[in-house]
Every structure is written in C-alpha cells, then in structure tokens.
Amino acid sequence: GQQVMQIPQYQHVQEGEDFTTYCNSSTTLSNIQWYKQRPGGHPVFLIQLVKSGEVKKQKRLTFQFGEAKKNSSLHITATQTTDVGTYFCAGHSGNTGKLIFGQGTTLQVKP
Amino acid sequence: SQTIHQWPATLVQPVGSPLSLECTVEGTSNPNLYWYRQAAGRGLQLLFYSIGIDQISSEVPQNLSASRPQDRQFILSSKKLLLSDSGFYLCAWSPPTSPRGTKNTEAFFGQGTRLTVV
C-alpha cells in the first residue's frame, strides 16, 4: 500500500541554524500537505502544494514539491524557539479521499 | 465557519472494557472524515476514513471499528480494549473530494482524545 516516509525522525539545532525535513512517497501524489504539531497539541495545517516542482514560501519556511510529485521538503531558515514541534507531511493519492501522513520530524531548538 | 468537536479529551479504561469516541463536524456538508492514532512520540497512523455515510474504509486490521451514522458524525468503537490500544486518537475532517478528483484540501483536526488502557 501507499507509504509516506519522512526523515529525519528528530533534529536538534541551535537557534539561528537552518532545518530541513524530507518526505518521500511510494506512489505519485495528487498533492502534498504540511502540518505542524506543537507538544501536547493537534496537527495544524501549514500549506498544500499541488503542481510538479512547485515552491511556496511562508516567511522563514520554504516548501517544495518534487518534479515527479513523489517527494517534498520543508526548509526553515534561521530557526527560532517558536519553531519547536513535530512537522508532518501528508499526501493524497488519487481521488480516494485517503490522506496518509509521514512519521514526522520532531524539531528541538536550543536557545 | 466549520468546527470539529471530539470528546472526551482524556480517558482511562480497563483492559477488556468497551470504547466509544465521538466526533462531530459543524458548518460543512459531506465531509471526508478520518480517525488517526498517535502513539507517544510517534507519527499519525490512519485507522479509518470515510467519504460518506456508511462508506468507511479500514486501514489497519485490529479490534477497532468505526461508524458514520450521520453525515457529520464519526464514531470510533471497540468491544474489548487491549493495552496496545493506548494512544492519542485524533479525528479530522476535510472538504469532500471533487467529482473529478482534482481538488483535495487540508484536514482539520479535533483536539484529540488521550486514551490510557490500564
């Protein structure tokens, strides 16, 4: 079945350093979504990418969707302590409504 | 505006007892509905999803079941809980898939139920 893999599982950075998490799907995705979950909270939607090769930015966050629509990345420039949390990618495959999440990357930022 | 309600927030249940978690959505029609489970420090495991009343797909064979008795109501149940059923259960909804399947949008999550089976 469809699988969405995400690496790394954990990342500890010093405040001000950059951070990247990578997402790979075993099947072609109709879209890729990114969510952030703060400790003790629920996942909150960040962004959706639909087009092959699409790049979107939200302030210090840059999201990219691969040309083959099977991989994606999230890059945070100059991390801050408010960036702490777990970042998940998620994808729809086809028209089934099924939404599969990656395992998440937990980011810790040392002040 | 749309809202999602999930309850209870926390639950402690003995092994072998039944379970019923309820999730309701307001402000939308024919949503896609999802149940996920998150073990401590782990990812989101899709348990069930539903694109319509009585249309439920099961992703993981186990002692859990789901029902959708009304358009905006999604219930997760178990007849006999196991210790391994402990975890953080999240209900989510997303807008319905378009007829041509070209539009999929984000999922909105409930606050979650933290279940401890003892």
User: Which tens digit of pLDDT belongs to each residue from B51-92?
Assistant: 999 899 988 867 899 999 999 999 999 999 999 999 999 999
More reliable by pLDDT, B102 or A100? A100
Which candidate from B43, B49, B112 shows the least CB-CB separation from A42? B112
CA distance A67 to A62: 16
B34 touches chain A (CB under 8 A): yes
Is residue B80 within 8 Å of residue B63, measured between CB atoms?
Answer: yes
Provide the Cα torsion A2, A36, B86, B49; round to 10°: -40
Confidence band, pLDDT 50/70/90 cuts, at residue A57: very high
Confidence band, pLDDT 50/70/90 cuts, at residue A46: very high
Burial B27-43 (b: 16+ CB within 10 A, else e): ebeebbbbbbbbeeeeb
Q: What share of chain A is helix, strand, coil (3-state, %, to 5)?
A: 5, 55, 40
Is residue A101 within 8 Å of residue B43, measured between CB atoms?
Answer: yes
A-chain residues within 8 Å CB-CB of B57? 96, 98
- Beta-carbon-side half-sphere exposure of residue B54 (alpha carbons within 13 Å): 0
Coil, strand, or helix at residue A30? Answer: coil
Indicate the residue type of B106: E
Confidence band, pLDDT 50/70/90 cuts, at residue B101: very low
Indicate the residue type of B32: N
Coil, strand, or helix at residue B101? Answer: coil
Give the model's pLDDT for residue B42: 79
A98 touches chain B (CB under 8 A): yes
Q: How many CB pairs under 8 A join A and B?
A: 67
A79 torsion bin: left (phi>0), alpha (psi -120 to 50), beta (else): beta
B43 touches chain A (CB under 8 A): yes
